[in-house]
Amino acid sequence: MYSHGITIIIVLTTLMPILPAQRSIRYRSMTFLSSIHGIYFRLVMLILSLGLLAGCQVSTTESGEEPEPPSSGSSAQASFESYPYSLQDNLLTDILAGEIAIEQGQQADALEFLSRAAANSRDKRLVLQAFQLAIETEDYQQAIKLAELYREVEPDNPRGHIMLSNANFRLGKTGDALEIIRESILALSEDDYFTLRSTAMFLSGQPGETILDDYLAHMEQYPDDAGISLVAAQLAFQVEDWERFSEQIDKTLRLIPDWETPAVLKLSVMIEQGHDTALTYAREHLTEFPEQKLFRITYADLLINIDFEDLALAQAKQILEDDPDYLDALIMAGSLLFNKDNDESGPLLQKYIELGGIDPQAVFYLSEIAKQDKDYREALNRLYSIGTSNRFYLEARIRIGRIYEERDGTEAGIKYLDGIAIRDQSELLRIVLEKDRMYQDVGDYEESRALFDDILLREPDNARLLYRRGLLFANMDLLDLHEIDMRKVIELESDNAYAYNALGYVLADKTDRLEEAYDLINHAMELRPNDPYITDSLGWIYYRLGKNELAIQYLTEASELLWDAEIAAHLGEVLWVTDQREEANELWDRALEDFPDHPVLNETVERLREANSGAVSISNEQYVQNMSHSQRLVA
């Protein structure tokens, strides 16, 4: 019995005389050894993946004869052990020689070795590797041969058609390439949407600007094939030709009106182009095809984006009535009910996870529910289930730190954050900002300052850190230092609207430099005209300038853009001092119901309601004392 270890030794010992004789690559002496060392790990992994070492031995018959080679009818994926000993020897030699040639930069030689290994093994991974090498070396004729081999090995895999079309495109044979695509599309069913989309993405990646024209011209003889029309729509989507996208997607739906996939694609594009048209189309489509769950959930997403959450919840619940295990509806309904503090949220989210749902938001919601119930152990266990390979790993660890903060105090939260293994600079920044929040929540501004001072010694031009430290200085009444940091941010990022707004707001709220404050806030408004916080600042500076009508106009606009406690406090204050106290009280009562613990809102309401009824104007000194206004600037 021969072991594979012996086989590898034999191959390695024979490579020295064989390779130099076959190729001009310098495999002798230390060059050969360094090449072996450089590819050792990749080679071992390749051998393992091909199954070359899976059985550890090549068995022989009881009579000592070698087994028969695999018949022509054997699977193309037959294990390596089924090959004769001599074939294993040659195959391993070609693979090893190909890897060494790649390491040496001899791509053409590598292609020859790997192409032969692919042909002998008929292993799809080797065929694909050789094909990619053929494309890289611009040996497109060899790429065509390898693509044909892949189609023989994997006749039901559309990748082979894409490979063959790719090689023909690169040879300049556009017509042949598109004909291969046509044959592939005609062989697909309506369920093969992802293949159709991949085809369109492949086509959009071809050089030149005429690929959509070429495709439509080639496919003119098949006007009644919906798959061809859908690929055309997808291709138009990729190249952002919206007129022809509309033509082709509508044509697809005329051919197959109940095909859900193009209907969802059409709705998604309409959402980007305008909510009104999208809503109309969605309602009409669901009236005709109420059973389409993916379309309905896409419609529900649209409703959420335009703040019609109750209608979105109704859509999700309708899906669950017909299909209680529909994952997207489970997490949507669970999330919306969570936002409403509804007890039905937890069971829906738990079911989502039990059925294999992978959206970490479900874990976050369930952890939050447990935390609200003071079940800290359950909350922590939920978050610890998100492992290091998950892209939400850091977010989960930040939330764990908040649980320790709530349960055991700020020091415990900070200690946990200090123990998180930081993998890059962005994670370090995220943790620094979270520690800053923890310190500021308990009024420990000096610790926050020390935190920022330390990291800014190493990163003096980090605009985000400078901005946050500038806000901290405003809370500490260190207005000169606040201005220095904000002006440095503006120097580094001249289009940073929030820096202009923060500096302008603090100057308006805490100094008499009102004209300068107005210029800064007005410039921020030019940079971000629909930002609710900046709109609020503009209203506030008009109030400080005594222009109450303009103040009410902009503060009302800000409140319509965002229902926020501090914006409500500001608007209520201007209404109050302009003798519109009934409106002010109604506004504050609603805000206090939604934000009962907000410090700025509570301070404003208490200060004005307790004031003497004749004291309808508020002095600048009272504004200066209200330091908490700058909390809103962290946007």
pLDDT in tens, 572-589: 999 999 999 999 999 999
What pLDDT score was predicted for residue 89? 58
Using the predicted structure, report yes or no on whether residue 304 has a pLDDT greater than 80: yes
Q: What is the pLDDT of residue 193?
A: 64
pLDDT reported for residue 72: 38
Distance separating alpha carbons of residues 219 and 207, to the nearest angstrom = 19
Buried b (16+ CB within 10 A) or exposed e, 22-45: ebebebeeeebeebbeebeeebee
Phi-psi region of 579 (alpha: psi -120 to 50; beta: other; left: phi over 0): left
590-634 residue pLDDT tens: 999 999 989 899 999 999 988 745 443 444 344 434 434 444 554
Among the residue ranges 114-123, 326-335, 483-492, 543-552, the one predicted with the least confidence is 114-123
Q: What is the pLDDT of residue 171?
A: 86
> Could you please report the per-residue DSSP string of 1-44?
-EEHHHHHHHHHHHHHHHHHHH-----SHHHHHHHHHHHHHHHH
Please compute the mean of the pLDDT values over residues 520-548 and round it to a whole number.
Answer: 95
Residue 434 has pLDDT above 90, yes or no: yes
pLDDT (tens digit per residue) in 86-134: 545 577 888 888 888 888 888 888 888 889 888 888 888 999 999 999 9
Decide if pLDDT at 298 tops 50: yes
**Whether residue 61 has pLDDT greater than 70:** no
Q: Give the 3-state secondary structure of residue 57.
A: strand
* Alpha-carbon distances of 419 from 263, 450, 526, 567, rounded to whole Å: 49, 19, 43, 38
**Residue 52 scores a pLDDT above 50:** no
The pLDDT confidence band at residue 272, using thresholds 50, 70 and 90, is confident
What tens digit of pLDDT does each residue of 388-419 get?
888 999 999 999 999 999 999 999 999 999 99
Average pLDDT rounded to a whole number, residues 308-315: 94
| Residue among 167, 225, 153, 155 nearest 196 (CA) | 225
Q: How confident is residue 208, by pLDDT bands cut at 50, 70 and 90? A: low
Q: What is the pLDDT of residue 59?
A: 39
Structure tokens at 121: 């093994």
> What are the tens digits of pLDDT across the range 212-232?
888 888 888 888 888 889 888
Q: What is the pLDDT of residue 253?
A: 94
- Confidence class of residue 207 from pLDDT cuts 50, 70 and 90? low
Q: Is 354 left (phi over 0), alpha (psi -120 to 50) or beta?
A: alpha
**Rounded mean pLDDT of the chain?**
82
Residues forming a β-bridge with 309: none
What is this structure's pTM? 0.68
Residue 199 pLDDT: 77
First to last CA, the chain: 72
- Return the pLDDT at 634: 44
- Domains of the chain are 1-64+79-157 (no CATH), 496-635 (1.25.40.10)
pLDDT of res. 627: 36
The DSSP bridge pattern shows strands 2-3 and 57-58 to be antiparallel
Give me the DSSP letters along 312-352: HHHHHHHHHHH-TT-HHHHHHHHHHHHHTT-TTHHHHHHHH
CA distance 297 to 277: 17
**Nearest Cα to Cα of residue 400 among 389, 391, 412:** 412
Look at residues 584, 580, 570 and name the one whose alpha carbon lies nearest to residue 626.
570
The C-alpha atoms of residue 529 and residue 497 are separated, in whole angstroms, by 10
Q: Contact, 256 vs 249, CB < 8 A? A: no
The amino acid at residue 167 is A
Of 416, 417, 443, 440, which Cα lies nearest the Cα of 429? Answer: 417
Selected residue with higher pLDDT from 13 and 207: 207
For 351-390, what is each residue's pLDDT tens digit? 999 999 999 999 999 999 999 999 999 999 999 999 888 8
Residue 341's region, left for phi above 0, alpha for psi from -120 to 50, else beta, is left
pLDDT above 70 covers a percentage of the chain that reads: 80
